[in-house]
């Protein structure tokens, strides 16, 4: 057996990551090498938290080639599992962190409790049965794409999106924790989630997504319960989200200053939650129709914690109003009156479109709606207003005619 000396690293910059091993008795320490040394490439695998070594070979160029190939394989996640942790195990950690708020979305805002519940339900129903027991390092993009393609055959775009989105986030979390070298979800072709299909379109046959000012007034007038009526008026004329309406306190409504201050939201299971983002905490002006309704309603308010309370059998204030019960009651009244029912989110659409048509600058509309940017407001609402550009056309025509 040929005895060998201890391997050493080459120090030349061009030889980074290359080790050399001389045979015993070689004079390389005192003079030129006379033994015909061996070389091997070395690369650090961050996900596995260890060095990976190539074979000892007699040509340094081949050792460098191995190292270049190994770096590429690490980037592709082809060195096998860096950990025995399964997708289900890391998923539980991720969902716990998302629920607690320590893991946040791409905008660095906490995930809403309802979003986490929807993601978890879709993940456990559609992903976990197939991939839950698979070790992270063995997850392959091709297998995940096969799952997406199968789900897309029978499920809606939103359901497929909600099933795969947490997988992306879980794997990104694993990469950040150096449990994976690369996210296997990168490059997946997933159907885009769609927003609410605006009713009245050719595809769904439901009502329009927005109501005219006259229709909104009629819908409000039919409601006979004072709490329900005040809530619908606030939805139509202030554009608050469902959770913001439920979490509104009487002291948040300043009739003298004509402002509603949004300080919190409300989740059906978690109770009080923070606004959707820091843009969600805002003040919304109270228009004249809303001022009259709220002044009358708050004059009769029983002093409970919530501006729009829900009541038990003994009419005792026990919490915020149930949105589902509100919708059931209201729809019966509207159908009896020959009016087309509307939802709370559509009432919010109505508020935004009314402001835009009234000429309120889009920047202020965005602020009152609690959107994260003007771009969000434009993307969500401008297509609802086919005539919103008429004023712009008139201005352009007048300018060109004068020129």
For the segment 90-117, what is each residue's pLDDT rounded down to a tens digit?
999 999 999 988 998 887 888 889 889 9
Class for domain 213-391, per CATH? mainly alpha
> Is pLDDT at 401 greater than 50 in this prediction?
yes
Hey, which of 4-13, 227-236, 275-284 has the most confident mean pLDDT?
Answer: 227-236
> Is pLDDT at 2 greater than 60 in this prediction?
no
Residue 216 to residue 221: CA distance in whole angstroms: 9
Q: 3-state SS of the chain?
A: CCCECCCEECCCHHHCCEEEECECCCCCCCCCCCCCCEEEEEEEECCCCEEEECCCECCHHHHHHHHHHHHHHHHHCCCCCCCCCEHHHHHHHHHHHHHHCCCECCCCCECCHHHHHHHHHHHHHHHHHHHCCCEHHHCCHHHHHHHHHHHHHHCCHHHHHHHHHHHHHHHHHHHHCCCCCCCCCCCCCCCCCCCCCCCCCCCCCCCCCCCCHHHHHHHHHHCCCHHHHHHHHHHHHHCCCHHHHHCCCHHHEECCCCEEEECCEEECCCEEECCCCCCCCEEEECCHHHHHHHHHHHCCCCCCCCCCEEECCCCCEEEECCHHHHHHHHHHHHHHCCCCCCCHHHHHHHHHHHHHHCCCCHHHHHHHHCCCCHHHHHHHHHHHCCCCCHHHHHHHHHHHHHC
> Is pLDDT at 323 greater than 70 in this prediction?
yes
Per-residue confidence band for 383, with pLDDT thresholds at 50, 70 and 90:
low
| pLDDT (0 to 100) of residue 200 | 35
CATH number 1.10.150.130 given to 87-176: yes
Predicted TM-score (pTM) of this structure: 0.64
> Is pLDDT at 282 greater than 90 in this prediction?
yes
Averaged pLDDT for residues 255-269? 92
Candidate from 173-182, 202-211, 222-231 with smallest mean pLDDT: 202-211
Domain ranges (residues) in the chain = 8-76, 87-176, 213-391
Per-residue confidence band for 23, with pLDDT thresholds at 50, 70 and 90:
confident
- Between 230 and 397, the more confident residue is 230
Per-residue confidence band for 285, with pLDDT thresholds at 50, 70 and 90:
very high
Per-residue confidence band for 194, with pLDDT thresholds at 50, 70 and 90:
low
Query: Which structure tokens are listed for 22?
Result: 């001389």
| pLDDT (0 to 100) of residue 195 | 57
| pLDDT (0 to 100) of residue 34 | 81
């Amino acid at each position: 057996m040929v005895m060998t000396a201890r391997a050493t690293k080459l120090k030349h910059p061009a030889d980074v990551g290359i080790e050399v091993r001389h045979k015993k008795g070689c004079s390389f320490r005192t003079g030129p090498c006379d033994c015909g040394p061996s070389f091997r490439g070395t690369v650090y695998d961050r996900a596995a938290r260890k060095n990976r070594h190539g074979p000892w070979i007699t040509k340094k160029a081949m050792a460098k080639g191995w190292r270049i190939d190994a770096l590429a394989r690490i980037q592709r996640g082809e060195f096998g599992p860096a950990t025995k942790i399964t997708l289900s195990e890391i998923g539980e950690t991720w969902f716990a962190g998302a629920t607690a708020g320590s893991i946040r979305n791409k905008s660095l805002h906490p995930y809403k409790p309802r979003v986490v519940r929807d993601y978890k339900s879709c993940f456990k129903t559609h992903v976990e049965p197939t991939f839950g027991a698979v070790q992270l390092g063995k997850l392959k993009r091709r297998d995940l794409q096969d799952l997406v393609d199968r789900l897309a055959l029978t499920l809606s775009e939103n359901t497929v999106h909600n099933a795969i989105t947490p997988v992306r986030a879980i794997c990104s979390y694993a990469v950040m924790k150096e449990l994976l070298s690369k996210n296997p979800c990168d490059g997946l072709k997933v159907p885009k989630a769609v927003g609410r299909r605006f009713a009245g379109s050719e595809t769904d046959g439901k009502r329009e997504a927005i109501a005219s000012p006259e229709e909104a007034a009629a819908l409000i007038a039919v409601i006979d319960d004072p709490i329900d009526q005040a809530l619908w008026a606030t939805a139509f004329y202030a554009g608050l989200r469902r959770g913001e309406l439920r979490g509104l306190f009487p002291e948040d409504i300043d009739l003298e200053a004509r402002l509603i201050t949004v300080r919190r939201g409300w989740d059906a299971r978690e109770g009080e939650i923070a606004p959707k983002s820091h843009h969600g905490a805002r003040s919304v002006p109270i228009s004249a129709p809303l001022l009259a309704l709220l002044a009358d309603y708050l004059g009769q308010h029983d002093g409970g914690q919530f501006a729009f309370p829900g009541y038990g059998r003994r009419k005792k204030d026990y919490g915020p109003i149930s949105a589902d019960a509100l919708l059931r009651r209201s729809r019966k009244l509207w159908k009896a009156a020959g009016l087309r029912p509307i939802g709370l989110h559509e009432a919010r659409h109505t508020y935004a479109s009314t402001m835009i048509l009234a000429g309120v600058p889009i920047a202020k509309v965005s602020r009152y709606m609690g959107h994260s940017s003007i771009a969000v407001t434009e993307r969500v609402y401008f297509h609802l207003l086919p005539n919103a550009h008429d004023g712009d056309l008139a201005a352009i025509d007048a300018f060109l005619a004068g020129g």
